[in-house]
Amino acid sequence: MKYLIALLFLAFFSCNTTDKKLNEALQGTWIMFDNPDYYKDKEMEEPLPEPLPHFRNPVYSFEGDSIYNSNSYFYYDGEKDSIEYFGDYSTFEIKNSIIYYEYPKNNKMEPILKINKVTKDTIFSEGYLLVRQKVNTNLLDYDEIRFSETNYNGATVRVKFSLKKNGSIEYKKFRYDDLIRNEKAQVNKAYLKLILQKVDAIDFTLPKKVKNEFIICGKSTNKIEFYKNNKLVHKDDLDDEISPTYYDLINRLSTINHYLENIKPIK
């Protein structure tokens, strides 16, 4: 009996040690891809459907026991046709080589994936790969971002804003040609830091669709410009093919209106 207890203790200790090492290896920022080896030799009656653009290639950042998810955490209520938004951050843990995150809706731990193998730059699971986001050394020298976006949802809604690196923003929103919001504000400090980190992660000397990054497909009418001392240093008309790293930045800019503080109307 004492040998059985000893074996169980060793097994428990071994699992804890492995999970601790996996946690250390996981720290940093990763892009999720489909694992091509998982589908290579499988016979399927129908081809795999294309995933929705917004959910394709999510970016995950692990820091301590905190996890950032570029897809955000939300709950869709089908009866009310409404979405409850819970932000971009949650907590995570690893048990028996499985990554779990805390789903904010019910505070339950939900699995993301089971880790089968870890290398320096790639985490392997059965259906997915996590590929470490490369460190960008070609940082863009800018002090202002100008961003515009047009959406078509029953009415043409256009948003444009100018964001300074100190967090000050001039935000305008149009419905058709009518100006319905014209404001000065400050962007929440934590969210501003996130946006600046997203810019620094992009090497703007490379094309928008970066080699070895899976491409996000979906019609877009976004335009982004970077200025230094009021002079244009870089611009992109964002078409339907951009890298996940770039898409992550655009997704943050598109939801910036949720993080405005000290709002004052411009008359």
How does pLDDT run across 210-254, given as a tens digit for each residue? 544 444 444 446 788 999 999 999 988 765 566 777 777 887 888
In the chain, which residues fall in CATH 3.30.1560?
A: 144-265
Q: Write the single-letter amino acid at 161.
A: F
Domain 2-132 coded CATH 1.10.10: no
pLDDT, the chain, mean: 77
Angle at 30 between CA 141 and CA 201, to 5 degrees: 5
- pLDDT for residue 16: 62
Q: What is the dihedral of CA 240, 137, 131, 32, to 10 degrees?
A: -40
Distance CA 71, CA 52 (A): 11
191 near 197, Cβ under 8 Å?
Answer: no
223 near 161, Cβ under 8 Å?
Answer: no
% of residues, the chain, pLDDT over 90: 18
Q: Tokens 């335009």 correspond to what residue?
A: 223
- pLDDT for residue 227: 96
Lowest mean pLDDT among 7-16, 110-119, 134-143, 221-230: 7-16
CATH number assigned to the domain covering 144-265: 3.30.1560
202 near 246, Cβ under 8 Å?
Answer: yes
Annotate 32-82 with DSSP letters as a single string: EEE-HHHHHT---SSPPPPPPGGGSS-EEEEETTEEEETT--EEEETTTTE
Q: Decide which of 267 and 145 is more confident.
A: 145
73 near 87, Cβ under 8 Å?
Answer: yes
Pairing of strands 122-124, 178-187: unpaired
Nearest alpha-carbon partner for 264 in 193, 181, 202, 159: 181
Residues 6+ apart with CB under 8 A from 49: none
pLDDT tens for 43-86 read 434 443 333 333 457 788 888 888 888 777 777 777 777 777 77
**Secondary structure of residue 4 in the 3-state scheme:** helix
The structure tokens listed for 247 are 């898409």
- pLDDT for residue 152: 66
Most confident segment among 33-47, 156-170, 191-205? 156-170
Burial 172-208 (b: 16+ CB within 10 A, else e): bbbeeeeeeeebebbbeeebbebbeebbebbbbeeeb
* Prediction pTM value: 0.61
In the chain, which residues fall in CATH 2.40.128?
A: 2-132
